[in-house]
A and B are shown apart, each in its own frame.
Chain A
């Protein structure tokens, strides 16, 4: 049973359909990214999940229960909510902002304080420095971290995020996104994230739901959308970033079979330094990065070693990797 499910959600504003008959399910601990151009209805769709917008038709099921079976406030207290503009309460301190939901839920003050401190520390906002500051004293990135801490404070199983990194400059954005991805708190969460940034979607999604004009164009794992687009819109949407996305989506495991000869297997030994061994789950993109950091040997090209199994490594050069990548792409698209 999906932790969060939407069935046939539809919303009209006047005669304009913002969302038309959209259905999806998100399994517990998975991340669904709602992707699409501006005005495609993705934010409306997200806001129907916590009933900030009531659908004209269709239902939202949380753990199999109709979301309308409880008052919207109670529903929302069980779902974290992060928005692009952050929306911290300007008259509350950082600590008070983080503590809003636990307090609404009636948690004990001591527990609330401990939880707040823990979250701030984990999000790199040392409480002794930040707890008593007001939002206007923080940078944009710091504010968004507080927003995230606020959404996580009551440890809700579901988190909804509406372009959470959209208002940040590219450098801050990349670093916060990395922190976000690596935050242990979020590993267990069921998340629905709205973005129009394709790279962000591919980085964070287990599933992507691509929307246009309120209608689902394709729903599936990122590589499926990329390699087997359901229609022209999907193809065009990823067209510009095709290669970059493919490099991110394909893993070494996908291309190993395409490597020319299989007789230079090696067992791990001390001849390879730790730094040039790479797991087979790494993306092609990350492997190429690795090449650029690996110094060339006295003769020949820089080589990295792929950990094929516990006991075997295979050597890779830039040239062999790119050749195998090309063959793998052709194979995957033709399946």
Chain B
């Protein structure tokens, strides 16, 4: 043993840290399972159901297809090639292709899983039959077995181990891919996993991933057991064909229907200020499915669900004729849009603050929604939309000769931020002789915040809730004391940004880009629902 075997204090510390971390996560995990026991059970059953249903379809289609290929070997390269291509399509993309055709829900999930299971099943059926000793088949035919009898009594039983190995592969693949079903409102253990990813919560990810892995092992083990049954091999195949529909039936069991079906993104379901907050404050508990954030708007528009979570200024609210339910008891945190500026820039250029202030209070939720709609849905340029707005509000001024210093403008990488950046650029050019350099599309919050702190940019529009939770990250006690009060939150981030970073939050623009509950306007009007309280009353 060389010196490397010595235990150093830093190793002990690291090991202790790791142990602490692990124990911590495990504690959280068990607490989570305990709290969500009913959901865990439901998701597990759904997961088994999805896997079994798709596997059944895979067997029912794949085995005959494989058998056909043994009789028509010329088709084999085409069919196997086609199935191989299907296999290479990333699962999330495959779901994306299927949604326009099949909508959301178990349909596209089962079809996607079915398509993935085809290749291993078809290939192994073919390989299994081709692997049967030619002499055995020849002798069987020579004895007077009909083609059907050769298939049933000789080829299938002898090919069964290889065939079952294919089904095993398909089953394990399907258990894994079925986690993605949570993106299309088909349920399954992916709901926890994607919620955990969205919330960066390892315990929640594990809460879904561990049962999913266990299911994969279970399917694998059960099929391996069938595979190694000697003697009466065909019984194994029959048992499988009997068991799969029963398991698939599990999917249908746990769905309880309520008057309205909600479709929520994973993050919303898991976040304390999302669905759990609503539940606590309003007693709201709609039956809901989980699906990908990108799909919720489509889902409510097409009527697959009636209620979704979204962002209060999203352009699709206007485009899809949705109604934002008013958060009358302030469950959602305030996310007021405010320009954040470096103090040095404000002090060096006193004309800057008044120019920026012209936009203060000018943008309500519905106005911002309208502007977003024009950019995101109608595909007008952010600049055209920004200038048009300024003109209508009488804020537009032609650019002055630019002689002064350079102000660097930042923005995050989505439409609303581009529009705001264009407005500020126009205001600075119109009301000062400062030059403007745009550094838009800077990615996420942390990149913009870092750029501002280091002086790479001088200002960008930020939201109070984001500044509070992502940048400042105060202890839970402080968050509790602030509550959902927009004024208190703004005051807190303003004070802390000044103290820590020497950055200034100016006056709010007026809109609040926060979580919102959305319904189709027509349905909401029919049911007379305008606020979350009214929704809650309706569901009760």
Binding site for B on A (CB under 8 A): 50, 52, 71, 73-78, 81, 83, 85-91, 100-101, 104, 147, 150-151, 160
Residue of A at shortest CB range from B154? A89
CB contacts (< 8 Å) of A89 on chain B: these are: 136, 139-140, 153-154
CA distance A74 to B143 in the complex (A): 9
A to B CB contacts below 8 Å, 12 in the list: A76-B143, A78-B144, A83-B142, A85-B139, A87-B137, A88-B139, A89-B153, A100-B140, A100-B143, A101-B143, A104-B145, A104-B149
Other than A100-B143, A147-B139, give 19 A-B pairs with Cβ distance below 8 A. Answer: A50-B142, A52-B138, A52-B142, A76-B141, A78-B144, A81-B139, A85-B133, A87-B135, A87-B136, A87-B138, A89-B136, A91-B158, A91-B231, A100-B145, A101-B144, A104-B143, A104-B144, A150-B143, A151-B143
Residue in B133, B136, B157 with the greatest tally of chain A CB atoms within 10 Å? B136
Minimal beta-carbon separation of A263 from chain B (angstroms): 59
Let me know if B146 is at the binding interface, CB within 8 A: yes
Q: For chain B, what secondary structure do more than half of its interface residues adopt (helix, strand, loop), or is it mixed?
A: helix
Contact A87–B231 (Cβ < 8 Å):
no
CB contacts (< 8 Å) of B143 on chain A: these are: 76-77, 81, 100-101, 104, 150-151
Category for how many chain B residues contact A: 20 to 34
CB contacts (< 8 Å) of A160 on chain B: these are: 142
Partner of B144, one of A77, A83, A85, A88: A77
Residue in A75, A85, A89, A151 with the greatest tally of chain B CB atoms within 10 Å? A89
How many A-B contacts if CB must be within 8 Å? 64
CB contacts (< 8 Å) of B153 on chain A: these are: 89
Given contacts A52-B138, A81-B139, contact A90 B133 (CB under 8 A): yes
CA distance A116 to B346 in the complex (A): 105
Partner of A52, one of B141, B154, B157: B141
CB contacts (< 8 Å) of B138 on chain A: these are: 52, 83, 87
Partner of A90, one of B136, B145, B146: B136
CB contacts (< 8 Å) of A90 on chain B: these are: 133, 136, 158
Contact B135–A73 (Cβ < 8 Å):
no
5 nearest A-B residue pairs (beta carbon)? A87-B139, A77-B144, A85-B135, A81-B142, A76-B144
Which of B145-159 touch A at CB < 8 Å? Answer: 145-146, 149, 153-154, 157-158
CA distance A170 to B135 in the complex (A): 22
CB contacts (< 8 Å) of A52 on chain B: these are: 138, 141-142
Contact A76–B142 (Cβ < 8 Å):
yes
Contact B144–A91 (Cβ < 8 Å):
no
Minimal beta-carbon separation of B95 from chain A (angstroms): 41
Binding site for A on B (CB under 8 A): 133, 135-146, 149, 153-154, 157-158, 231, 233
CB contacts (< 8 Å) of B154 on chain A: these are: 89
Contact A88–B136 (Cβ < 8 Å):
yes
Contact A83–B158 (Cβ < 8 Å):
no
CA distance A195 to B149 in the complex (A): 30
CA distance A100 to B141 in the complex (A): 11
Minimal beta-carbon separation of A189 from chain B (angstroms): 16
CA distance A75 to B146 in the complex (A): 11
Minimal beta-carbon separation of A81 from chain B (angstroms): 4
Residue of A at shortest CB range from B136? A87
Minimal beta-carbon separation of B93 from chain A (angstroms): 43
CA distance A160 to B142 in the complex (A): 10
CA distance A73 to B136 in the complex (A): 16
Minimal beta-carbon separation of B128 from chain A (angstroms): 13
Partner of A83, one of B139, B146, B149, B157: B139
CB contacts (< 8 Å) of B141 on chain A: these are: 52, 76
Minimal beta-carbon separation of B115 from chain A (angstroms): 33
CA distance A101 to B149 in the complex (A): 12
Contact B133–A87 (Cβ < 8 Å):
yes
CB contacts (< 8 Å) of A151 on chain B: these are: 143
Minimal beta-carbon separation of A111 from chain B (angstroms): 18
CA distance A91 to B140 in the complex (A): 13
CA distance A106 to B152 in the complex (A): 18
Minimal beta-carbon separation of B145 from chain A (angstroms): 7
Contact A91–B157 (Cβ < 8 Å):
yes
CB contacts (< 8 Å) of B231 on chain A: these are: 91
CB contacts (< 8 Å) of B233 on chain A: these are: 91
CB contacts (< 8 Å) of B139 on chain A: these are: 81, 83, 85-89, 147
CA distance A31 to B142 in the complex (A): 19
Residue of B at shortest CB range from A100? B143
CB contacts (< 8 Å) of A76 on chain B: these are: 141-144
Residue in A86, A87, A147 with the greatest tally of chain B CB atoms within 10 Å? A87
Contact B133–A83 (Cβ < 8 Å):
no
CA distance A220 to B432 in the complex (A): 120
CA distance A183 to B337 in the complex (A): 102
CA distance A151 to B142 in the complex (A): 10
Minimal beta-carbon separation of B238 from chain A (angstroms): 15
CA distance A326 to B143 in the complex (A): 48
CB contacts (< 8 Å) of A81 on chain B: these are: 139, 142-143
CA distance A90 to B135 in the complex (A): 11
CA distance A297 to B237 in the complex (A): 75
CA distance A74 to B153 in the complex (A): 17
Residue of A at shortest CB range from B158? A91
CB contacts (< 8 Å) of B157 on chain A: these are: 91
CB contacts (< 8 Å) of B135 on chain A: these are: 83, 85-87
CA distance A16 to B165 in the complex (A): 41
CA distance A113 to B157 in the complex (A): 23
CA distance A74 to B145 in the complex (A): 9
CA distance A215 to B143 in the complex (A): 28
CA distance A89 to B142 in the complex (A): 13
CA distance A89 to B231 in the complex (A): 12
CA distance A151 to B136 in the complex (A): 14
Minimal beta-carbon separation of B140 from chain A (angstroms): 7
Minimal beta-carbon separation of A97 from chain B (angstroms): 9
Residue of B at shortest CB range from A74? B144
CB contacts (< 8 Å) of B146 on chain A: these are: 71, 73
Minimal beta-carbon separation of A13 from chain B (angstroms): 17
Residue of A at shortest CB range from B153? A89
Minimal beta-carbon separation of B130 from chain A (angstroms): 16
Minimal beta-carbon separation of A62 from chain B (angstroms): 14
Residue in A71, A100, A150 with the greatest tally of chain B CB atoms within 10 Å? A100
Residue in A71, A86, A104, A150 with the greatest tally of chain B CB atoms within 10 Å? A104
Residue of A at shortest CB range from B132? A90
Minimal beta-carbon separation of B309 from chain A (angstroms): 58
Minimal beta-carbon separation of B230 from chain A (angstroms): 8
Residue of B at shortest CB range from A101? B143
Minimal beta-carbon separation of B211 from chain A (angstroms): 37
CA distance A81 to B138 in the complex (A): 10
CB contacts (< 8 Å) of A86 on chain B: these are: 135, 139
CA distance A73 to B148 in the complex (A): 11
CA distance A52 to B142 in the complex (A): 7
Minimal beta-carbon separation of A50 from chain B (angstroms): 6
CA distance A50 to B141 in the complex (A): 10
CA distance A81 to B140 in the complex (A): 9
Given contacts A83-B138, A87-B135, A87-B138, contact A73 B158 (CB under 8 A): no
Minimal beta-carbon separation of B133 from chain A (angstroms): 7
Residue of B at shortest CB range from A85? B135
Minimal beta-carbon separation of A78 from chain B (angstroms): 8
CB contacts (< 8 Å) of B137 on chain A: these are: 87
Residue of A at shortest CB range from B234? A91
CB contacts (< 8 Å) of A104 on chain B: these are: 143-145, 149
CB contacts (< 8 Å) of A100 on chain B: these are: 140, 143, 145
